[in-house]
């Protein structure tokens, strides 16, 4: 292993840091080029790019982890690749094949190996693949050209002082329409979430919970994470809906709950007025793995789940197990881990 760069890993948050190299591949005349690693972190694109005007872009987020044995591994990158293909289909963009996606991620990690935080710091190397529609175009139609890029940023452990529950309020706004783009990881969904997030933050909440856009009775997303709850009879429950982002962490937790913790686990409707069914709840996603939910404010009343200050025991076990799998301390299910070969 080469030496890591001189960063105070304990101080890392979730902020942009320019790393050495990023991967860029361009799509033109119906095909992707071979792609290359470049030093320049600036993109020069046409002022008429569809990504700028019509939101024709999508992105992904995944992490590289350094293990105790000083190996580097990716967690389920094939799932991110497949989700990006679905996002591309929805926005009429050319798909990046799974192998090309994983190869690009591996190249970027290898090229920036010195930025992969040491084992034991809880920090990781966050990878941000994205595709943007570029080229000269003014009408509302798919772009003539595309750029696929993967860059990386070392990020800190989400819970610096240990896992602390946070409170959420139920948004007055929708993040996605019933047959809209909620299930795709496209920038427009996130632009639409900035204002409701700001309103929640101003009132002291970590973020807001979005209900299903058709009936406003069922929980869909917790900010930019999926929801899960542990029922009073010890079932792991997570919402099912065509307008939530299919979270890779959520599907991993469904498996962990069943196969590692021996719980019943299912995707089903989660009604906002049935929060009493749950003894614990959390938000899950790549960044935090799990954020325990302290309370949820709905119609002016704060409904406390397990506790506003302590993490519930099942939530803690789920977190420890998934975190252990991601850092290589617990045996992963077949196919979940992709090793990054030494250069």
Ligand X SMILES: Cc1ncc(COP(=O)(O)O)c(C=O)c1O
Does position 220 bind ligand X by CB under 6 A? Answer: no
**Interface residue with ligand X, options 21, 245, 254, 257 (CB under 6 A):** 245
Residue 128 CB, shortest distance to ligand X, in Å, is 11
Residue 247 CB, shortest distance to ligand X, in Å, is 3
Token output for 250:
């959520």
The window from 16-24, 147-155, 162-170, 247-255 that contacts ligand X (CB under 6 A) reads 247-255
Q: CB nearer to ligand X: give 134 or 208.
A: 208
Quote the crossing angle between the two packed helices 77-90 and 98-111, to the nearest 10°. Answer: 120
Does position 124 bind ligand X by CB under 6 A? Answer: no
Q: CB nearer to ligand X: give 199 or 302.
A: 199
The window from 32-40, 162-170, 246-254, 256-264 that contacts ligand X (CB under 6 A) reads 246-254
Residue 286 CB, shortest distance to ligand X, in Å, is 3
Does position 187 bind ligand X by CB under 6 A? Answer: no
Does position 221 bind ligand X by CB under 6 A? Answer: yes
Residue 5 CB, shortest distance to ligand X, in Å, is 26
Residues touching ligand X, count (CB under 6 A):
12
Residue 77 CB, shortest distance to ligand X, in Å, is 11
Does position 226 bind ligand X by CB under 6 A? Answer: yes
The window from 8-16, 34-42, 245-253, 273-281 that contacts ligand X (CB under 6 A) reads 245-253
Active site residues: 185
Residues 280-339 that bind ligand X (CB under 6 A): 285-286
Does position 61 bind ligand X by CB under 6 A? Answer: yes
Residue 253 CB, shortest distance to ligand X, in Å, is 9
What gap in Å lies between CA 102 and CA 109, rounded to an integer?
11
Does position 225 bind ligand X by CB under 6 A? Answer: yes
The window from 13-21, 45-53, 217-225, 328-336 that contacts ligand X (CB under 6 A) reads 217-225
Quick count: other Cβ atoms within 10 Å of Cβ 45?
A: 15
* Residues forming the site for ligand X (CB under 6 A): 61, 221, 224-226, 245, 247-250, 285-286
């Amino acid at each position: 292993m080469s030496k890591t760069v001189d960063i105070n890993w304990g101080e890392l948050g979730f902020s942009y840091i320019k790393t050495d190299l990023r991967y860029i591949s361009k799509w033109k005349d119906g095909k992707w080029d071979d792609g290359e690693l470049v030093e320049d972190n600036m993109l020069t694109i046409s002022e008429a790019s569809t990504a700028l005007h019509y939101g024709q872009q999508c992105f992904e987020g995944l992490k590289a982890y350094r293990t105790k044995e000083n190996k580097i591994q990716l967690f389920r990158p094939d799932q991110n690749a497949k989700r990006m293909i679905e996002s591309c289909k929805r926005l009429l963009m050319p798909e990046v094949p799974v192998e090309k996606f994983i190869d690009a991620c591996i190249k970027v990690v290898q090229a920036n190996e010195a930025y992969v935080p040491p084992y034991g710091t809880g920090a990781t190397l966050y990878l941000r693949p994205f595709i943007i529609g570029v080229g000269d175009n003014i009408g509302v139609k798919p772009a003539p050209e595309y750029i696929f890029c993967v860059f990386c940023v070392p990020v800190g452990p989400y819970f610096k002082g240990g896992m602390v529950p946070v409170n959420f309020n139920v948004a007055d706004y929708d993040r996605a329409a019933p047959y809209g783009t909620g299930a795709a990881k496209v920038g427009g969904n996130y632009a639409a979430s900035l204002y409701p997030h700001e309103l929640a933050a101003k009132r002291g909440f970590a973020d807001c919970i979005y209900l299903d856009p058709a009936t406003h009775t069922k929980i869909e997303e917790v900010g930019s994470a999926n929801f899960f709850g542990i029922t009073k009879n010890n079932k792991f429950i997570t919402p099912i809906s065509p307008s939530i982002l299919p979270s890779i962490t959520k599907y991993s937790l469904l498996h962990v709950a069943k196969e590692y913790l021996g719980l019943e686990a299912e995707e089903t409707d989660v009604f906002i007025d049935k929060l009493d069914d749950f003894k614990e709840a959390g938000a899950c996603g790549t960044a935090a793995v799990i954020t325990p939910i302290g309370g949820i404010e709905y119609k002016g009343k704060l409904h406390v789940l397990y506790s506003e200050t302590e993490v519930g025991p099942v939530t803690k076990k789920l977190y420890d197990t998934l975190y252990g799998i991601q850092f290589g301390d617990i045996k992963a299910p077949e196919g979940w881990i992709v090793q990054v070969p030494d250069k």
